[in-house]
Every structure is written in structure tokens, then in C-alpha cells.
Copies of this chain bind each other. A is one copy, B any other.
């Protein structure tokens, strides 16, 4: 294998909004020898991860685990529930929402793209009232699904999914609610059942702290019913065989065994900390990160206070500053990867990931690297974001070390 150590010394800080740094425990778990996916050991593993993943999604219903990366789970959500030419209402929150819409087109659907003009829509969560209005206008119920992104990885904006659900309900519209929380799951609060989501799409390489390679569809009974009559061709993604085989802990085809080891370990880690404690940790880290950006005098991409992502923060550059040059300086001098601005925001912002296994000192390292990199790039800063973030973290710090009783 090639030497992938492009920096001479020390740990690389992978502070993109996914893949997030994979903890040692999980890297060791995925290096357990591959087993027979039809043998009894696999059954024990399969039953454990299939039960555990429901707790992560907060659902009582089946969660399909695909041996494929997240883009595939987008496709699965659509091909299992839709028929050729179906209208789907999608909402432009950012680059990934746009890619999902493009996929819907490729699959022969007719997506309609709601949203605010320009980059304004990329700075706010889904405006549920726009969805309500559109659905009310659709008295013929041509629209078969409403598709929104819960945590836009390209912007650092989250959406109030419960509000979208209420909007659909107020419109008394039968469309399915499909939600992408690929980058939100297991770092940002998410409740598949309580929020009335029909299909939730997610992936492994973000809050679950795994390498990329597995992805998810969490289902509702209504989604399962829709899948029985949907006519888009599907085989690999088809829920029916998988859900049936999963009842005993197995898959109809070869699953991604070694990443499932990692998933089991990730669930152990999340269980040890407590899922709600995980959410609280990321809320606190996100708040500290924003304190830093404000102290620098820079703009945060997300402009709605209620919608700041606990997973990542988008930092807008002043006019004339190329965000990608800042990222390159940081990469070359401080051994850290930051996320690029995507699509409409290319070169105008960079993204700081603070998801997954991030903790206080990792965030401080990250913000230090940003502050020094901005300095190298000649960006005039109003003050030290690092000091502001420390103030927030110190004032909210809690003793978290556990001392096991012997």
C-alpha cells in the first residue's frame, strides 16, 4: 500500500464534516477477521447491529443496512417507494440537496425544487410553510414524496423535521416524508418515529465514526406499504428481501462484515456515553466553535439561530479571500484537513467538522489551526476565536471521567 503520510510528523487532524476521524476502537474492530456470513457467529452479530441501529434512529421499525456508501441509500429511498414519472417535492438547502434532486432526475422522477433564491436558501433551514403551501396546491396528490435534508453537510444548517411533518399534516397530504440525515445521525438529535418520518437516509462515516461503506434506510410502515406498489426497477436496493432475511440476522447477499464489526463497536461506544449525552456534547462543541468565528469577526454561513448544526460550522470568508487558499495553507502548515465550500459556495467558505468523536481539546486544536491559517493568509481578525472558544468550554466544562468500581 502506498505511503500515505504526506506530513512529516504527528497526528493529522481530519476536521472535515465527514468522513470523521475513526476512533482506534473502531479501527481495531474492523480488523477482526472476516467470518462466514451464513454462519452462527454472523447471526449473533447481525441481530445485535440490527437491534442497535433502531435505537440510534429512535425507531421501532426496520432499518435497512446497505453494504454501500451513502449515495446508494438516497437511491434506495427513491427506488423502493417511487414509480417512473412520480413527482417529488425537494427543498434546496444546499449542495447535497441539489445532488439528491439530480439523482431523482436520473432515476426518471420529476422533482420539483423549492427554496429561497441564490445562496439565501443555503443559509437557512427548510421553510416548512413553503412546503405546506405547495402541498395544499397539489389537490390531485401528484406529489408522492417530500424530500428534505436534516443536516446540510455543505452549509452547517439543520432543519426542523418535526415542523416539516406538521406542514404535511396540516396540508392533509399523503406524500411520504423522506429525510437525509447522512451527516446528522448520532451527532445531532434525531427521532425517526416521533417526527413521523417515512424514510430516513443515513451513512456510516459521520456521527457513527465508521469508515465510509455502509448506509441506512430507516422505514415506516407507510413506506413499506408504498414499496409494495412502487414500480421503479430495484434489486440490490430492494427492501423486501433484506427486511425478510434480517429477521434472523442475515442478509440476502454478502454484507459488509468488517464494517458491521465497526458498527457494533460504535454502538457500544455510544451506549457507554449515552445517546443524549452525545447530542449534548456536540451542541456544546458547536456553540464553542461559533463563539470562535464571531470573535474572529467572520460570518457564520448559517444565519438562523435555531438551525446551527452541532456537526459542522461554515465560515464565510471576507470579500477577496479565497477560502480554498486558506484551507491549503492550513493543510500544508498545520497538518489539518478542512471542508471546502461546495457548489454555489466554492471558494467563499470553509467548513469545520466537529462531529463524531470530537472533544474539547480536538476542537481547540482545530480552531488554533484555523486561526493560524487565517493569519498566514493575511485575513484580518477582530480577535482570538481560540480565546473565545476556551471561555465557552471552560465555563461549561464538566468532569466526565469515570472511575470504575473495582
Residues of A whose CB lies within 8 Å of any CB of B are 1-14, 16, 18-19, 21-25, 27-41, 44-45, 47-48, 66-72, 74-75, 79, 84, 103, 106-108, 203, 205, 211-213, 232-236, 238, 253-259, 261, 264-265, 268-269, 272-274, 277-278, 281, 329, 331-337, 340, 357-362, 364-366, 368-369, 371-372, 375-376, 384, 386-387, 390, 393-394, 397-404, 406
Most buried by B among A4, A329, A333: A4
Given pairs A2-B48, A75-B236, 15 additional interface contacts (CB within 8 A): A6-B40, A6-B402, A7-B400, A10-B362, A14-B34, A19-B36, A21-B33, A27-B31, A34-B212, A67-B213, A72-B72, A84-B233, A106-B234, A333-B397, A361-B365
A-B contact pairs, 28 of them (CB 8 A): A1-B265, A1-B268, A2-B264, A5-B269, A6-B40, A7-B359, A7-B400, A9-B359, A10-B358, A12-B35, A13-B361, A22-B258, A27-B31, A30-B31, A31-B31, A44-B406, A67-B68, A67-B212, A69-B255, A103-B235, A106-B233, A107-B235, A213-B258, A232-B233, A233-B233, A362-B365, A364-B386, A375-B394
Q: Are B71 and A68 in contact (CB under 8 A)?
A: no
Interface contact B387-A360, CB-CB below 8 Å: no
- Residues of B contacting A234 with CB < 8 Å? 106-107
Is A203 a contact of B261 with CB atoms below 8 Å? Answer: no
A70 to B28, CA, bound (A): 25
A21 / chain B contacts, CB cutoff of 8 Å: 11, 33-34
Asked whether, in the complex, the Cβ of A41 is within 8 Å of the Cβ of B400, the reply is no
- CB pair A5 B272 closer than 8 Å: yes
Closest chain-B Cβ to A72's Cβ sits at a distance in Å of 5
Do the beta carbons of B34 and A19 come within 8 Å of each other?
yes
The complex places the Cα of A183 from the Cα of B331 at a distance, in Å, of 30
Partner of A34, one of B9, B22, B31, B368: B22
Of chain B, the residue at the smallest CB distance from A24 is B33
Find out whether the CB atom of B35 lies under 8 angstroms from the CB atom of A277: no
